[in-house]
Structures are given as structure tokens and as C-alpha cells.
Structure 1
């Protein structure tokens, strides 16, 4: 790589990662140091850059220590002692999910580390990082955040140990936990620390959790969760209490109406959760995403081949946050929330024009989206004010009558981006909710034509996840007929446009509620639709999701009714094999699965058979 980025000297445009770069800015110390489990990529898709640049824009001096050696506390002192505190984020993924597959086997690669190699971060990174910070600086304020903190802020089922663990705030002994999207709470904490307020007295910031020894004074205003001692066991009473614990959290998720939550842990330790922070509004999002990111990894990674995780997002635009899709297995709701916050068209165009001046830009914008690309505007009046209905979902079991599907603002934004002279193509890769598209009777067809004509690169990936009613209900997804209708509409639109483009559906095997019979039905659907995936994803019980509660408790927390859960590795392998019934290496497992399911009629040479004898 060359020595300049956007016409400026290279290293000086990044946040400092060592004392030389810090002194190059004329700093004696940093106000905050961000410890990151990911490599330092100065791009708004990475939390270390987003939060640090935001604080920098507010006048704070922020340094970054990416992927420090957790075996040596000295790794945490390379920038000296920060004036105000440490910020800790384990990276774009929960560190255990980053290290292990759904089969609990170690991963050989890490897309967020130099050269894509594994081993640059510890298991349970948040805990280890705080431990090392405390060893180096005993009395320094430590604020933890990110996806790992958000999903583990209360007692939570941990798939890798098969236990219910305490709040990560208690186990880490951090001072404050920031959950959700952290800009508002982080800035308030920073300003209060700047004014000299002790971190121990900063207890009322929205979007944070704090710990307490002894009966906390806030308890009178809180909704009390079942105690950790009541939910940690494996007996029926503990499992039901765990399901109730989750639903109480879910019902207090709306920033407009939520009350504080309180959970007592072992002994006299407590976790107090303040109500969620309000989502950022468009001008605030615009300003954050237009900060001077270099949109590349720090040059210190060049010799290792860079950071693979940057490739897909380097020339992508974040158009929105939040997701009202309501998928049971997804953690986005617990982290970004259900209310949609979106950026202005003008800001996205300005950012695209900045991309076009980047030396590595080839004319292709890889994505314009968020958790769900076509959730670009708030679908109802309540979401437009930053709230949502915590007691019901927007799309499941059927669309809310208050929901108004309208793709016109997104179409207009995509058109404006396509019309930039230096942009050759604008892709959409962050996912389309086809059920929401099918609801749009005004502009849905126009959007589908726009999508097929301009924004698909031969294949469109969508996520029906399954096709049987029971599994879809457990997943919080609508009827399979909706996917069938979309599949027909997509094929017809491409035929009319004279385009040869394919639909690539994504399915999950072994989700709670899925039996071998359900897997057989999904296999038959695949055979009928002439699509068999090269790869299949087993359900992965990540912390903080409704599906993980089902996996752990055997209960659907929405109804408290029992639900079947595929648990043993053998059953999971059989379900996964059925989804790849025509792969030769899966034949023995498919035969076994069909016999166990009582479907020997699907073994043989008939047109509907899944496998030959």
C-alpha cells in the first residue's frame, strides 16, 4: 500500500495505537483508551472506530489498543494511563462465537484478525481484558460494551459451558456496562467523568447497567427479575423462572415506556439496568457516519495481508439501524433495538462521494443497508418516535395493522446513489425481508424491479429459514406461502426484464421445534424447488435470544408451553444431512434419518425419493 490515504499522511490519520503515534499528535496522554478484541479497522462498521471517532469529534483524546496480549498486563500500558478511563469491546462478535462453531469445535480462521488467523483474542474476551486492565491500573474506571456485554448483561445461558452464568458486569468487575448502541451513554459518561464525577456515582445513565453490593437504593423504582439463584439450575422450576426472566427483559425494551430492571445475584450483589437509550435521529446518525474514517485497516497489518472482515464492508454504506423483523434466533433486537433509525439521503450521497475519492474504490458500492436493507424507514408512528410495542411483534404471527410498508424512500435513495458519476454499480447484500416487500401494495413491485434491474449481482440471498408451520412459529417467522409468493414474483420479474438471476435461500437446521419429520419436509421442499445448499448452518444458541431460551429450557417463553429441542450431536447431524440429501458423503446419514422418521417411502428410485437404496 502507498503512504497516503485521501491525500494525507497515513499513520497520522488513524487514532494512535502506540506512544510514538500518540506523541506525534502532541499528546502526553489519552482521555480514553479503547481495548478492542478486533484488529483496528478505521471504518464505521467497526465499533472501535465508530465509538472512538465519535468521542474524538466531541473533543476527547482517544487511543486504541487492538487485540492486546492477554497473557501480559504490560500490553495494556503501551499508551500509558488514560486520564478518564478504559473502554472495552470484545469485537464484532461474542468472543466465544468468534472462536467456536455450533458444534463447539475451534475455528481455524478469524475474519477480524490480521491475515484472518485465529488466536489473537482470548475466550471470554471482556472478562480477560478487564482483569488485565485491573492488574495494570487498579483504580481506573472501566466501561464495557459491545455485543458481548449487551447479550450477557444479566444471568444468561452459556452454550459453551452448558450453564447459566452470572451477569458479565459482576464477573468482570467493570464499573459500568453499556448495552445497545452506545454513543449516547458513552458520551454522557465521558462528560461526567470530565467534570470530575467519580465513576461510582454515575448510576443513572440510560443504556447502562451498574452493579451494587447490598440493597440498591434504586430498587423501589425497578421491575424485579427472578434472582440468579432461582434461574441457574436445571430443574423444572429454575427453567421456568429463566423463561420468565427473559420475558420480563423483553417487555421492558421500549425506550419510551421501559422501567429499570433489577436482578439479585449470589450473596448481596445486584445488577441494575437503566432504561434503554433513545435511538439516534437522522442528523445524529449522519454526523457520526460522516466522520473522517480512513476506511481501511491500520497500516501495521499490511505485512500480514490486512483484515479480511474489511473486504465486504469497506465500500458499503450503513443506511439504518434496528430491526423489527422479530426473528427468535437473532440478537439484533437485544443490541440495536426494534425501532428503525435511518440516515438522510443527502448524507448517504455525501458519503458515497467520499468513497469515490478513495484510492482503492473501483466504482462499486457493495451494500446500502443495515440489519435488514429494506427496513429503511420507521413503519409506524410509534417507531417514528423511537419506540415500539414490547408486548407484540410487527410481522408475527401476522403483520400489525399499524405497519405501513413503503419502499419509496429507499428507492429514491438508491436512485440518487446510482446517479453519482463515479459509481458504476450499487449492490444490496445486507438482506431483504421478502414478507415486508410483499406487504407493500404501493411501491413493492417497483422496488422489486429496481432491485432486480440494478442491485443484484446474479444472486439474491434471502432467509426463509424453514418451511414447516411449527418451526416457523418457533422462529417468529410468517407462513411459508409468503416465501413461495416472493419466489414466484422474483422469477417473473427477472423473466420480464430478460435477466438470468437466481434466488439463494438460507435455512437453519436443528432449531428448537424442529423434528426429523420437519427436516424431511424441508428436504422435500428443496428437491421440489431444485435447490440444495452447499453449506448448512446448525442453530447456534447465542446468548440473549428467544431461541436460546427455548434451547435451554425446553419451553417457549411466549406461551410457557413445552417445545421439542434437538440436542444430541447425532440428531443434529441427521437433520443437517437431510438438508443436503443429494450430497454423496451424506447418504448414510440420510438413510438413517429417513428410517428413523418412518419415511422409507423416500428411499429408492421414485421421482419424489430423496436418496437411492
Structure 2
């Protein structure tokens, strides 16, 4: 069954015929269900091509056991474009513990199993079998982060560029609007092979000829070198990261056997006018009606009535792929564009008056961190917010606050929430309380989610996050504003365990702190080594690419489980792991009856250090030496000053 649905792009040959099409220019294949919303890359790229006059058909979640679904769509005139969906297919399928997930919010009915592992590679091979003479180009997050030789956590080894395994003609990395239009124009003009992409920024391709390198280039260690030497792998990642600025970045070349992988410099960010045009295209803002019978597509729930107002993030967390994919330079839409989208949302029949989010990668970034970045690019060996806010940082929320005020005034809008990540360190660099005050008053509901990730400065250094002291000052400021407004709202922190550099003693220190403030997180994220991040390079190589110095990495399932368990020490199912972790860390002093202890012994449990204390106490009562707290040498070395009890996270609000 396939019938034309007004407003959506065709999803079958029958849809095309009903439109009067007997071919399409581009067949866009995706691992997600087809959702025509600007939060989905498939929707954006297809609408951009449509706006340029091309015929685009969508092949969503095709049968990956044969090329039959590809053949049924008919041969596209110019190319097959492939992405795995909004997220990496391996992340969609597996947890950080490599356990299979039971659901998939980007599939109809939330059912898993509709896409293959390593989706872009599988789809590319099927496209080749279906249309041997049609060019194939990869895009989206999965392809973007695998464009070089990379460590693959699931295979636990270095894999070559995804272009080699997929056999594709080229790859678009980052935000692809400019790249895809240039590729489309080159194909339309009759260009073939490397000529299609070699002059296009934001692309990567394989070639045997050095003459195909069109931009000034730097070379990074080859596939053979990174396979043989982890130091070379760390070096290659550092070189690749250093060239990801659209102003200063050069092409990066990596030898793969007898061929050369060439990554051209990043695409230029869209201007405000160009972003306005992209987000003003005729998106239907929902999933294709053909999924209704299966219960729709769950992923739409959080974004249907949300607005993206910016791109890029200069926060630069080491575990985040944004710097390698979307870039650190901030681009933003005009107020008029955002307001027009909000007005369209307000007219939607299912809209209840609540705009769920006005954000992006980081909600409170509206412009580059400093004026220098607009002409000279971002600093290569400096971060805007790490280890502390740069002296040149222009921390100003005035424009964002003005935008939020305008949105609150739109008829039919009851509440405008901010749910994307807020950089609290950027907020602390802004000494004007005006934005903070209105955020607390109008734009959160009971709780504010932020991401300190840890409280050990040792661990935070390897994460690329600021000192925990910044969070403590933020929390006090937040509490002061809530008190001023007569509100009782809470902070909900995101915490991460087992990040490279974080030792068992760091996890114990964090558990002590959480215990001292009476807070235990319900959810903790284990570090997930996904392709394209500095932290993943640390995990594999045990070297920090920033300094080329060794870094400790918790790799065994047991130690990772212990670090995670320490952050949820009260849970009965974690008790044995917590005890083992404390004993291994030499922190038996945290097993006992004091309020500072994480584990209170049960009647049937025997701990030698407690037995020794009882003997010492008995000796003291009979004239012997006074009992003395026994601390092992390892504990004495690792124990740190007790955290201040007045700081920390508030208890979560009880559900009624």
C-alpha cells in the first residue's frame, strides 16, 4: 500500500507516479523512520534539495537483507544519498555495556530491529548492487564521525574509513546543506568520480592520485601506522581535530593502503539568512502518516513543538562529537525566523500551548565566543571555557533573553521551556542576573538539568570540563534566585562514570560528596567510547591527544561497574560491588556506622577493620592506648579533604 500524502515527499514508486514522476533525481536512504521535521537530518537535506529544484524520494528503513526495496524505487538520475539516521546505528542498538537495546525511538512503534548494524555501510552495498552505475554518497552522524581510520568500540579495534568498507564515492561531514547542493550541481553538470567532490568543502573521498587533492593539506599517520602504534593513533586524532575550523582548517590526508583518504576543509557555516531559509522550508513537523497504524514514531514527542535557534558549540567537551561534526563556531537564526516558526507551531491542531524547547547543541549560545573567531577562527590549542572562561569570552545573554521574551508574547503560547543543555559555566561568566532570573521564573518547571559530569577536578580535567567550584557557585546563585522568587525548584545533574582519567578513588570521592549532601542520582551514564571524540582516543590509546601523555583508563567490565555502583551506593543490588570497590580503593573507613559511611554493616557481615577497632576500644577501656582510626597507607595517600556539606545538589522533587 502506497499512496501520496500531501506535503510529504514520495516514499514509494507509486507515490512518484501519482505525482507524475517516472524517476527521481536523488534517492535518500535513511535508517530512521521518515519524519519531516527540521530536527531530523533527512528532512533538512531532502527539503534543501527540493527547494533547489531537484526531485527527491525517501527510502526509509529498507529491508537490509536484499536490494529489492532499492530496485523497487527505480534508478535515481544523479545519486543515492545514505545516512543511518539521527544517531549512530551502533549507539541506537547497543548500550555502553554492549547489551542489545529493546527499543528504538526512531522506528515505528519504537520497535528495534528495523535497521542493520553499521547501517550506512550495509545500505551503500545494497545501493551498489541495485544500481551499479549510480554514484553513492554518505552523510549524517555515523558517516561523519567515521570518515578517518577510527577506533570502533564494538569491534574493539581500529577500522578504516567508512568509505572503504562501504565502497561509496564520497562522504559529507558536518552540516551538509552547502556540500549536498554543490555535489548536486556537479552531478547535474556531468562530472564524475573525484571531480564531483574534490573542490567541495565539507566532503571526504578516496583517491589514488595526489593530483586530486585540491586544497592545501596536512598529512596524518596512515592506516597501517595507527593499526600498529597507539601513539600514532593519538597523533592522528590530534591532527584531525586541529583542522576542523572553517577558517584555519586545511585538508587532511591519510594513506589507506595504495589509496589516499582526503578530507577537505569543513564547509562554511550558514549565514543567518541562509539558516532562516533552511528552517523556513515546508516541513510537516511530524512523521509520515503511513506509520500511524504502528503507533507513530516516538522520537517526535520531544521535538515536535521545539525550535532550534543555533548551531555549533564552543564548549568543547572531550567526550562530545560536536567539535568534530558540527564545529565550535556558533551560527544562529534571526528572531523573526524563530518567531515565525513558533507562530506556525501555535497553529498546529495538537499544540497545547507549550513550546518544549528553544535550543540547539547548547541552548544559551547565540553568537561566537569572541569577535576574533569571526575573522581568524577558533583558537587551536585553547578552549573558550576550559579550564576556565577565556578573558576574551563575551558572555552575554541579552539577545537570547530578548528572543525568549518575544516568544512568550505569542498568542496561544502558554509557556516556553528551555530543555537543551545550558552551559552553566557560560552563565557564571555573565555577571548580569537578568537572564538567570527570567530562566528560573519563566522557562523551567520544577527542575533544571545541568551537566557537571563529576566533582573530582582530576576527572574533570580529562573530560574538558571546568573545575567543580564553578558548579558550586552556580548552585548557590540558583538557590539565591529561587529564594528571591519564592520558588522551590531543584537541580538535576548529569553524572558520568568511568571516563578516561577517572580512577576508582575519583568515584569514591564523588560518592562521599553525594552522600554528604544526601543525594543519590537515579541515572548515571557510563562513558561510551563512540567514534570521533578525543575521549574515545584516550580510551583506546591510553594517551591524552592534547598532551601526548599517558592517561589511566578503566577498561575491565568489573572496574567500570564498580565506578558506576559507587554513585548509586544505596541501591541493594549495588551493595556487593560498592564494598569491593571501597576495599580495593583502600577506603574501608567508609564501611561503618558513622553518617559519613557509605556502607552500614549488617549483622551477618564481618569486616576486619571494624573488629580491630572494637579490640582497640576495649583495650582503651582497660587502661590501654586510646582507640585510633586505622587508615591503610593506600587510603591515606588517596583520601582528600571532606567536601563542604552545604554545597551540592538538591534532593529531587517528590512525585505527587
TM-score bracket relative to the smaller structure:
over 0.9
CA–CA separation in structure 1 for the residues paired with 2:481 and 2:70: 56
CA–CA separation in structure 1 for the residues paired with 2:183 and 2:4: 31
For 2:408, the equivalent position in structure 1 comes to: 418
For 1:248, the equivalent position in structure 2 comes to: 239
For 1:343, the equivalent position in structure 2 comes to: 333
Q: Is the 8 A contact 1:340 1:383 kept in 2?
A: no
Asked if 1:314 corresponds to 2:314, the answer is no
For 1:83, the equivalent position in structure 2 comes to: 77
Q: Where in structure 2 are there 5+ consecutive unaligned residues?
A: 602-656
For 2:206, the equivalent position in structure 1 comes to: 211
For 2:651, the equivalent position in structure 1 comes to: none
Asked if 1:588 corresponds to 2:583, the answer is no
For 2:643, the equivalent position in structure 1 comes to: none
CA–CA separation in structure 2 for the residues paired with 1:457 and 1:39: 31
Q: Is the 8 A contact 2:312 2:361 kept in 1?
A: yes
Which residue among 26, 32, 54 is the counterpart of 1:60?
Answer: 54
Q: Is the 8 A contact 2:303 2:356 kept in 1?
A: yes
Structure 2 SS opposite 1:12: coil
In the TM superposition, what whole-angstrom CA distance separates every residue of 1:139-189 from its partner, at most 9, and x where no partner exists?
Answer: 101110111111110100000011100001111111111011000000011
Query: What is the CA-CA distance between 1:214 and the residue it aligns to?
Result: 4.9
Query: What is the CA-CA distance between 1:382 and the residue it aligns to?
Result: 3.1
CA–CA separation in structure 1 for the residues paired with 2:461 and 2:48: 40
CA–CA separation in structure 2 for the residues paired with 1:198 and 1:230: 31
Which segment is superposed worse, 319-328 or 392-401?
392-401
For 1:387, the equivalent position in structure 2 comes to: 377
Which residue among 129, 132, 150 is the counterpart of 1:135?
Answer: 129
Which residue among 462, 477, 486 is the counterpart of 1:498?
Answer: 486
For 2:15, the equivalent position in structure 1 comes to: 21
CA–CA separation in structure 1 for the residues paired with 2:145 and 2:470: 31
Query: What is the CA-CA distance between 1:495 and the residue it aligns to?
Result: 1.3
Q: Is the 8 A contact 2:248 2:376 kept in 1?
A: no
Structure 1 SS opposite 2:206: strand
Which residue among 255, 258, 261 is the counterpart of 2:249?
Answer: 258
Q: CA 1:241/1:440 → structure 2, altered by over 3 Å: closer, same or farther?
A: same
Structure 1 SS opposite 2:474: helix
Which residue among 388, 391, 396 is the counterpart of 1:401?
Answer: 391
Asked if 1:440 corresponds to 2:430, the answer is yes
Matches within 5 A, 1:217-296: 217-218=212-213, 221-233=216-228, 238-266=229-257, 268-296=258-286
Q: Is the 8 A contact 2:215 2:250 kept in 1?
A: no
Query: What is the CA-CA distance between 1:458 and the residue it aligns to?
Result: 0.9
CA–CA separation in structure 1 for the residues paired with 2:356 and 2:4: 24
Asked if 1:161 corresponds to 2:155, the answer is yes
Query: What is the CA-CA distance between 1:221 and the residue it aligns to?
Result: 3.5
CA–CA separation in structure 2 for the residues paired with 1:275 and 1:416: 38
Q: Is the 8 A contact 1:12 1:21 kept in 2?
A: no
Q: CA 1:386/1:181 → structure 2, altered by over 3 Å: closer, same or farther?
A: farther
Q: CA 1:155/1:246 → structure 2, altered by over 3 Å: closer, same or farther?
A: same
Asked if 1:326 corresponds to 2:320, the answer is no
For 1:4, the equivalent position in structure 2 comes to: none
Structure 2 SS opposite 1:38: coil
Query: What is the CA-CA distance between 1:375 and the residue it aligns to?
Result: 1.1
Q: Is the 8 A contact 2:590 2:599 kept in 1?
A: yes
CA–CA separation in structure 2 for the residues paired with 1:601 and 1:130: 57
Structure 2 SS opposite 1:312: helix
Q: If the length of structure 2 is used for normalisation, what is the TM-score? A: 0.90
CA–CA separation in structure 2 for the residues paired with 1:10 and 1:215: 47
Asked if 1:191 corresponds to 2:185, the answer is yes
CA–CA separation in structure 2 for the residues paired with 1:355 and 1:83: 36
Structure 1 SS opposite 2:73: coil
For 1:5, the equivalent position in structure 2 comes to: none
Which residue among 362, 365, 375 is the counterpart of 2:355?
Answer: 365
In the TM superposition, what whole-angstrom CA distance separates every residue of 1:524-547 from its partner, at most 9, and x where no partner exists?
Answer: 121223321111110000001000
Structure 2 SS opposite 1:77: helix
CA–CA separation in structure 2 for the residues paired with 1:495 and 1:537: 31
Q: Is the 8 A contact 2:215 2:251 kept in 1?
A: no
For 2:140, the equivalent position in structure 1 comes to: 146
CA–CA separation in structure 2 for the residues paired with 1:523 and 1:10: 57
CA–CA separation in structure 1 for the residues paired with 2:220 and 2:183: 26
CA–CA separation in structure 1 for the residues paired with 2:576 and 2:340: 56
For 1:536, the equivalent position in structure 2 comes to: 524
Query: What is the CA-CA distance between 1:593 and the residue it aligns to?
Result: 0.8
Q: Is the 8 A contact 1:602 1:608 kept in 2?
A: yes
For 1:3, the equivalent position in structure 2 comes to: none
User: Which 4+ runs in 1 deviate beyond 6 A?
Assistant: none
CA–CA separation in structure 2 for the residues paired with 1:51 and 1:217: 27
Q: Is the 8 A contact 1:114 1:301 kept in 2?
A: yes
For 1:485, the equivalent position in structure 2 comes to: 473
In the TM superposition, what whole-angstrom CA distance separates every residue of 1:38-69 from its partner, at most 9, and x where no partner exists?
Answer: 10000000011011011111111111000001
Asked if 1:356 corresponds to 2:350, the answer is no
Query: What is the CA-CA distance between 1:72 and the residue it aligns to?
Result: 1.6
For 2:561, the equivalent position in structure 1 comes to: 573
Q: Is the 8 A contact 1:278 1:386 kept in 2?
A: no
Structure 1 SS opposite 2:600: coil
Structure 2 SS opposite 1:594: helix
For 1:6, the equivalent position in structure 2 comes to: none
CA–CA separation in structure 2 for the residues paired with 1:352 and 1:384: 29
Q: Is the 8 A contact 2:497 2:527 kept in 1?
A: yes
In the TM superposition, what whole-angstrom CA distance separates every residue of 1:105-151 from its partner, at most 9, and x where no partner exists?
Answer: 11111110011111000011011000000010001011101111111
CA–CA separation in structure 1 for the residues paired with 2:498 and 2:206: 37
CA–CA separation in structure 2 for the residues paired with 1:349 and 1:531: 40
Which segment is superposed worse, 38-47 or 196-205?
196-205
Q: CA 1:361/1:383 → structure 2, altered by over 3 Å: closer, same or farther?
A: farther
Query: What is the CA-CA distance between 1:91 and the residue it aligns to?
Result: 0.7
In the TM superposition, what whole-angstrom CA distance separates every residue of 1:361-382 from its partner, at most 9, and x where no partner exists?
Answer: 1111000011110112222113
Q: Is the 8 A contact 2:33 2:61 kept in 1?
A: yes
Query: Considering only CA atoms, is the larger Rg found in Structure 1 or Structure 2?
Result: 2
Q: Is the 8 A contact 1:193 1:199 kept in 2?
A: no
In the TM superposition, what whole-angstrom CA distance separates every residue of 1:163-220 from its partner, at most 9, and x where no partner exists?
Answer: 1000011111111110110000000111111122224422110000111125454289
Which segment is superposed worse, 471-480 or 520-529?
520-529
Query: What is the CA-CA distance between 1:79 and the residue it aligns to?
Result: 2.2
Q: If the length of structure 1 is used for normalisation, what is the TM-score? A: 0.96
Number of matched pairs: 598
For 2:417, the equivalent position in structure 1 comes to: 427
Q: Is the 8 A contact 2:90 2:118 kept in 1?
A: yes
CA–CA separation in structure 1 for the residues paired with 2:186 and 2:209: 25
